[in-house]
Amino acid sequence: MHNETMTYVNAFEHSAETDFLDLVDDTHAAVVEVGSVWRLLIVDDEPDVHRATTFALNGLSIFGRTLEFLHAYSAEQATAILRKERDIAVVLLDVVMEREDAGLALVKVIRQDLKLTDLRIILRTGQPGYAPEIETIHAFDINDYKTKSELTRAKLYATITAALRTYDQIRALDDLAFYDNLSRLPNRNRFINLIDERLSLGQYGDVVIAILDIDDFSEVNDALGHQQGDRLLRAVAERLTSSLGETTVVARIGSDAFGLMGPSSSVDPLSLLELFRLPFLVQDDSMMVTATLGLVSLTDTKEAGRDAIKDANIALKRAKKNRRGSFVTYTLDMGTEIRERVRLLQGLRSAVDTNRLFVVYQPQVQLHTGKVVGMEALLRWRNDDGSYVPPDRFIPLAEASGLIIALGDWVLRMACHELVRLQAMGMASLRVSVNVSQLQFRHPDFVEKLTLAIADTGIEAANLELEITESVAMEDPDFMLERFSVIKAIGVTIAIDDFGTGYSSLSHLRQLPIDRLKIDRAFVNELSSDILSGPIAAMVIELGRNLNMTVIAEGIETENQAEILRKMGCHEGQGYFYATPMAPPELKEWLLARHAIP
């Protein structure tokens, strides 16, 4: 091919430039896909220019590809072709056509209206006086500007070659920036751009955006390896694209998440989930996986592509929380809820900085004697206007944001300091209970911080009790047994909070060094004078006694409930029947009134 090309060029025009033509072609031919074509659009109002250009370039190969020519004889025709045709690499554009500025006006249409940023533009003119300003060449990314008399066959070839090289490099960069290397689908960036394009044209119509997430994909990678996981992703991508057709955009926007955009008839959640009823053939394996979907109508998200993905992701998280293998469609109420959570989180951070969080204490008593034996430390949030934010609203938010670790450490120290003050008044045997969240309890530094709090405040470890919810205590048995044992070795006691609301393994429960079981308030509320055997409360009390644990009931609000619990054999209790949670000054007054302080 090298010799054939050289012979052809020399036969056409003997010039030093022919060596350059041969060199350019030879150095790139090996690395470019052979058999495809470069598409060139010739825009000129003179038919002779079209014939001469085609004749000069016809039959040549550049970087292993032949040339395909499209023709327009006015800026208007060129615009129509560019709107319709794809993958046009270079435009050879006459500056002066039906108007003196027709060519430059077309350049603006190409770059600004059609947004064809990778297309290369070579301006040609037979009238040198109409050259564009340097600023125009720079602003509109014009590849080259030549007078028609300059463009001999060799120079035309060299100019086209340089433009194609630039076009190929831009497309390669675009490929990296906007397409997923594994699936060859558009990536997240490209998906956002496609949504933005649809929004900019006002084409909301019946368009739906969806995020499809493969359930438990990390387990596939862990069990079968990343290579098999990649093959599964390709199989899912192929099924989605083949099933949804050209009306729907399919993109890979995350490691195991696909973005979809199309009409509601195509992006239909029930139909999409049905695609996962059959197994995926991955090499020699038949793999069954499920998917969860979050959807949003484009009419509900008119701001930007990122907002559409954000809203679909909100719906996806809701679907995962409800049940995997299902779907949720975004509603405006969900957005309001998220904004409220963000506002509340900002308020929580501000409350931490401005000392609007404080600790209150609810006394715990022996049911048979009424003696005060302990107190539970509880975190409260008071606004500047005197209103309170309920703990069931801000505690989950603190856990989700990670603030709970610092807050938990602070509450622990505050509780220890208060216990020291009360013990100094003569309540030497009083204990204080502190709730510990899952994140705080599992933090690598938790035991060290616990030890430091005890040492710094000078309390007896035996007078400090940590409350762990049943759901946290029952997960990861080996870790929990190890951590509980370390805490018990320090001398701190442990209580299981909200007992009866989870699914405890009795064999696991027997192994853990637990001191107390706390009956959840929901089961205390079920007690009445007519029912002396509140089933769950009675079961928890019996279980605790058999395991030599102290049982404490929370949420006691009436004498009836207290009496029933006493008859059941419950050891301790707390609730509004005895006292509300109180700040330290009120707690001291309450204790003095009950003669609890000597």
d(CA 146, CA 395): 70
- Tell me what pLDDT residue 450 has: 96
The percentage of the chain sitting over the pLDDT mark of 70, rounded to a whole number, equals 89
CB atoms within 10 A of CB 358: 15
d(CA 586, CA 268): 60
H helices present in 354-457, as ranges = 391-401, 403-424, 438-442, 446-457
- Tell me what pLDDT residue 112 has: 86
d(CA 108, CA 538): 81
Task: Decide the pairing of beta strands 572-573 and 357-366.
Answer: antiparallel
Residue 390 half-sphere exposure toward CB, CA atoms < 13 A: 2
pLDDT in tens, 68-115: 999 999 999 999 999 999 889 999 998 888 787 788 889 888 888 888
What single DSSP character describes residue 29? T
Structure tokens at 451: 């030890």
Q: Which helix (H) or strand (E) holds 145?
A: strand 144-147
Q: How confident is the model at residue 154 (pLDDT cuts 50, 70, 90)?
A: confident
- Tell me what pLDDT residue 83 has: 92
Q: Is the pLDDT of residue 493 over 90?
A: yes
Q: Which of 93-107, 355-369, 545-559, 569-583 has the lowest mean pLDDT?
A: 93-107
Q: Is the pLDDT of residue 24 over 80?
A: no
CA-nearest of 452, 455, 490, 487 to 468 is 487
pTM beyond 0.85, yes or no? no
Q: How confident is the model at residue 136 (pLDDT cuts 50, 70, 90)?
A: low
Q: Which of 24-28, 257-261, 416-420, 481-485 has the lowest mean pLDDT?
A: 24-28
- Tell me what pLDDT residue 534 has: 64
Structure tokens at 500: 């009866």
Residue 434 pairs with which residues in a beta bridge? 377, 466
**Mean pLDDT across the chain:** 85
